Amino acid sequence: MKIQEMEANGTAEKLGAATHWICTANHGFAPYAQEELRRMFGAVKSTVIIPGEMLRVTLQKEAEQVIGAILSKPPIFLRHLFHIDWEWHVLEQGDLAEAIDALSAFVLSDPRLLNAGKIAVQPRKSEQSLWNGSASELRELLQDKLCGLKAEFVVRDADYIVSVFVGKEFVYAGISQPEYNISDWNGGAVRFQREEGQISRAKFKLLEAELTFGIDFTAYREALDIGAAPGGWTSFLLERGIKVTAVDPAKMHPSLKNEPRLTIIRKNAGEVKLREHQFDLLVCDMSWSPKLTAKLVSELLYALVPGGTAIITVKLLSKKPMALIQEVIETFQQSRMQVQRAKQLFHNRDEITLYMIKY
């Protein structure tokens, strides 16, 4: 992986074993993403780019080592990263045009892109950015300057991604294959369009889980939705052709009233009696104490078949979320659940999503 760091005078600085990264987490969770990196790689030096969300991080590891470790054990809070192959210190607003020209020349000189069929240009900017226009306008400008690559410019499913961040004083850029960025969405921000008649935005969590965890929801037969009201997750499961039992004392959305594949139980989850091994999918998105949620769900796991899947959100109501997550995971492990992934999705707020299989 080529490493080059350029400043306004055009000189390159040899970085040695240290590598530099732009790291992004959900707003307010950047400190926990940094802690994940510290636990993985030891010493971490960071500079805040966007408070609580984006950091410029220096790791005393080669780029290949960092990427290999992150791919083998995906982090919970680190949503997106890209290796800084190039940076330019802009001293004045008028120097930005020079920086963009230099960036374009750098990208055009990268041999990996000469035969790339599809390239995604993914620019971002800070609120006090040197770039006054929108990120989409910057993308269009860069694509015009990179037309010599003869590639198709796409939003996703690219062969290579050109990541760009324009801040108050620096322009950062990196070129990578999509899997090396954790997410191939720009900054890891997974966007879905709200549909007409959509019950709630909670549906976006399952849509993102479907993509992130590679879950084929159409393969499931019957699901249990704990704490289902008003029905955002239930409606998603029904759309995937799954028979659903929704448990919640509150009312479900009127649009679900005559759904033939839906059974509604207007009770607290702790009061219901279900058939053993009735379901091959269990989901829960309750705004409740995470420890109590884990205990409640664990007591209902008798209704999930061995090999069945559970998707659970864990609300991070503690000032020590990493310790809380470990405690909740241990509760589920004691109930014969194997955690496949624990991830703070873009559509999670103060929570994470657990993807688990019963053994």
Question: CA 108 → CA 4, 114, 173, 221, distances in Å?
Answer: 14, 8, 13, 50
Report the pLDDT value the prediction gives residue 2, as an integer from 0 to 100: 34
DSSP states along 168-204: SSEEEEEEE-GGGGS-SSGGG----PPPTT---TTHH
Rounded mean pLDDT of 210-224? 97
167 Cβ contact list (under 8 Å, min separation 6):
49, 125, 126, 128, 129, 130
Distance CA 241, CA 217 (A): 8
> Is the confidence at residue 14, as pLDDT, over 50?
no
Q: Residue 200 — pLDDT band, cuts 50, 70, 90?
A: confident
Percent of the chain predicted with pLDDT > 70: 94
> Is the confidence at residue 6, as pLDDT, over 90?
no
Give me the residue label for tokens 């005559």: 258
Structure tokens that stand for 102 in this block: 């230099």
Distance CA 168, CA 95 (A): 12
Higher pLDDT, 142 or 11: 142
Q: Residue 197 — pLDDT band, cuts 50, 70, 90?
A: confident
> Is the confidence at residue 7, as pLDDT, over 60?
no
> Is-contact 232 202, C-beta < 8 A?
yes
Mean pLDDT, rounded, of the chain: 92
Closest by CA position to 171, among listed 3, 7, 54: 7
Report the pLDDT value the prediction gives residue 16, as an integer from 0 to 100: 53
> Is the confidence at residue 287, as pLDDT, over 90?
no
Strand partners, 144: none
| pTM beyond cutoff 0.95 | no
Q: Residue 196 — pLDDT band, cuts 50, 70, 90?
A: confident
Q: Is 269 helix (H, G, I), strand (E, B) or coil?
A: helix
The pairing of beta strand 279-284 with beta strand 304-315: parallel
Structure tokens that stand for 76 in this block: 């919970």
For helices 321-333 and 290-299, give the axis angle rounded to 10 degrees. 10
Rounded mean pLDDT of 11-32? 80
Report the pLDDT value the prediction gives residue 147, as an integer from 0 to 100: 92
73 Cβ contact list (under 8 Å, min separation 6):
40
